[in-house]
Amino acid sequence: MPEGDTVHLTARNLHQVLAGQTLTRCDIRVPAFATIDLSGEVVGDVVARGKHLLIRAGDSTIHSHLKMEGAWHIYRRGSRWKRPEWQARIVLETANWVTVGFALGILEVIPTAEESTVVGYLGPDPLGPDWNADEALRRMLADPARPVGLALLDQRVMAGLGNVYRNEVCFLRGILPTRPVGNVAQPEKLVDLAHRLIQANKDRSTRTTTGKLRGQTSWVQSRDGQPCSRCGTTIQRGELGDNPLQLRNTFFCPVCQT
């Protein structure tokens, strides 16, 4: 499941092959932007902001978001693609490399000067150079009645955290996702733990919150019906969202979390 760590690693890999290179092909397969051709432009850099990825070429920025199924792949010229071509939303080529964005949830081209219109609302990024724990905590505590599970998932509070980190952080802190933020003791430790967990995974292709790279890599995420590794109680699954159309699965131990 793509989260901020996945996007930051993707941005780093794309930056290595695209930055400073001239685009020899730009094939955008989204109707609203299909006529835009950035061939001949030099890629300045590729950066991540939370779960958003920004490829800057000339005066334009290619803005993408992986959502649930998206991915960027990097291939040497002539290599066979690992996903079907009909899933490709954009193809960018240089003299040596082919980069393909598959099944991207968002893909658009905007003036680089207007990047704030798509990422300006985001909260501090735990993987960004401007990480500010105090600001993230301030935003989290702005609505004391809000369930902590919703606050952790809100990109306006912290950019990059997804469902996996939300559920794992709550378990490790012994807090049910439904507990109001105002009833959480030492909420600053939630922010600190989220920061440390995602930092620990930023260079890994396999995400882990248990410290194991094989076997059980999560404490509660997607483990409903299985025994809690701490107390043996069956892990349960629930749903939580700001409205019925935004419900996301929660996983928790009813004994270890209160």
Residue 195: C-alpha distances to residues 25, 142, 164, 180, 255 (Å): 38, 19, 13, 21, 25
Check if the beta carbon of residue 228 is closer than 8 Å to that of residue 256.
Answer: yes
Token reading at 208: 């882990």
d(CA 53, CA 55): 7
CB atoms within 10 A of CB 147: 20
User: Minimal CA–CA distance to 127: which of 61, 201, 64, 66?
Assistant: 201
Q: What are phi and psi of 144, to 5 degrees?
A: -60, -25
| Residues with a known catalytic role | 2-3, 51
User: Minimal CA–CA distance to 97: which of 6, 8, 9, 22?
Assistant: 22
Instruction: Tell me the helices (H) and strands (E) count for the chain, helix number first.
Output: 6, 10
**SS3 call for 129:** coil
Please identify which residue in the block is written with the tokens 């893909």: 107
d(CA 118, CA 115): 6
